[in-house]
Amino acid sequence: METNLTSQRKKDHIDLAFLSQTVERDTRFYYEPFLSAHPLNESIPKTVIAGKTLSMPLWISSMTGGTEKAGIINKNLAKACREFGMGIGLGSCRIILTDNAYLGDFNIRKYLGDDLPLFANLGIAQVEELLEKNKLELIGELIRKVEADGLIIHVNPLQEWLQPEGDLIRFSPIDTIKRLLDKVDVKIIVKEVGQGFGPRSFRELFQLPVEAIEFGAHGGTNFSALELHRQEEQTKNQLEPLAMIGHSATEMMDYANQALDELGSRALCRNIIASGGVKNFLDGYYLIRTSKANSVYAQASAFLKHATGEYEQLKTYCELQRKGLQTCYQYLEIKTA
Ligand SMILES: Cc1cc2nc3c(=O)[nH]c(=O)nc-3n(C[C@H](O)[C@H](O)[C@H](O)COP(=O)(O)O)c2cc1C
């Protein structure tokens, strides 16, 4: 039996050798094969976000709710978080702020368990409105309803501006977030939705007592492009250049590190969720290891791709992600500039 297997493997090697010529090389890392044994589960360090411990430094970025498929997607994502020790942000919970008809789509604590972070999600425009109407108690109610650890606020002015039915943002988001922090005792995470943001925004945000800053960087799912696809041809063609602006996650990590260096002890936020266009575990590992803050990386669309059907498909995706990360922690070091 063993002889047959070996002989088949040798045949495969000969057949596949010409198909396996290297075309590209990832030059971001030193690969050190002489210094470590094969990785074990413990090779991935644990990370704490919102006082809860993640076994993988991986977060599922906020996605959907309130549509037919959302319930099954969210359930699959929550099960994966529990099995692999990851954190998750819900998609916008606006639809359940005052009406419980779709609460079932968002009610995933029962699949996730109590030990992992779960955050509700609202847009900056809704937070503005709640502040203006003196209805901040709805935020506390929302968090209780979905048994979340806190609230993610998505700041998406470009998306809203390009969306035909988009909300108008009437104040600077940083002021709105400050006003909210003054009035509620809730853990807050802030994020963009696929455009990222620049160094001045980082400097302001790090000085706020927010739980984490999530990048939502440019380079993956792009909601400005998405909204333009929903428009007439002329609008799409003329405004399309706006979808090209923004900042990649790598660029944003540089801004974040510079801001942390400059601010020193004035930086009140010390956690980063590096997301947006993170293609795989190598990108994620690179971001985490170049960060000067406590960091995890996150993906949205990559998880979504595997979350719409059977749980097993998502489980396989997560297992391979973990195997990749174990390899990184055991064998790869970041090349410094
Ligand atoms: C289907 C879908 C729905 C999303 N809905 C939300 C949302 O409700 N709130 C939010 O903050 N971000 C939302 N996002 C943005 C993601 O959280 C993330 O910032 C963005 O997709 C970039 O990550 P990616 O390149 O890994 O997809 C959504 C993304 C997708 C793909």
pTM flag (> 0.85): yes
Q: State how far the Cα of 278 lies from the Cα of 91, in Å rounded to an integer.
A: 18
Q: Work out the average pLDDT over 190-212.
A: 98
Has residue 109 been placed in a domain?
yes
Q: What is the average pLDDT value for the chain, to the nearest integer?
A: 94
Instruction: Give the best-scoring range by mean pLDDT among 22-36, 67-81, 215-229, 256-270.
Output: 256-270
Give me the number of domains the chain comprises: 1
Residue nearest atom 23 in ligand 1 by C-alpha distance: 276
CATH number, domain with residue 142: 3.20.20.70
| In the predicted structure, residue 316 carries a pLDDT above the cut 90 | yes
**42 — pLDDT class (breaks 50, 70, 90):** confident
Has residue 138 been placed in a domain?
yes
Has residue 247 been placed in a domain?
yes
Has residue 305 been placed in a domain?
yes
Query: Residue 118 to residues 38, 53, 295: CA-CA distances in angstroms?
Result: 33, 12, 16
Q: State how far the Cα of 92 lies from the Cα of 54, in Å rounded to an integer.
A: 23
Has residue 25 been placed in a domain?
no
User: How high is the pLDDT of residue 21?
Assistant: 83
Has residue 311 been placed in a domain?
yes
Has residue 219 been placed in a domain?
yes
Residue nearest atom 14 in ligand 1 by C-alpha distance: 63
User: How high is the pLDDT of residue 66?
Assistant: 65
Phi and psi at 288, nearest 5°, equal -60, -45
Mutating to test ligand 1, I would choose from 58, 62, 96, 321 the residue with most ligand atoms within 8 A of its C-beta, which is 62
The long-range contacts involving 63-67, CB below 8 angstroms and separated by at least 24 positions, are 63/91, 63/300, 63/303, 63/304, 64/91, 64/304, 65/90, 65/91, 65/92, 65/93, 65/95, 65/96, 65/102, 65/105, 65/106, 66/91, 66/95, 66/96, 66/102, 66/105, 67/105
- Give the domain range for residue 232: 52-334
Ligand 1 centroid – CA 155 distance (Å): 12
Has residue 30 been placed in a domain?
no
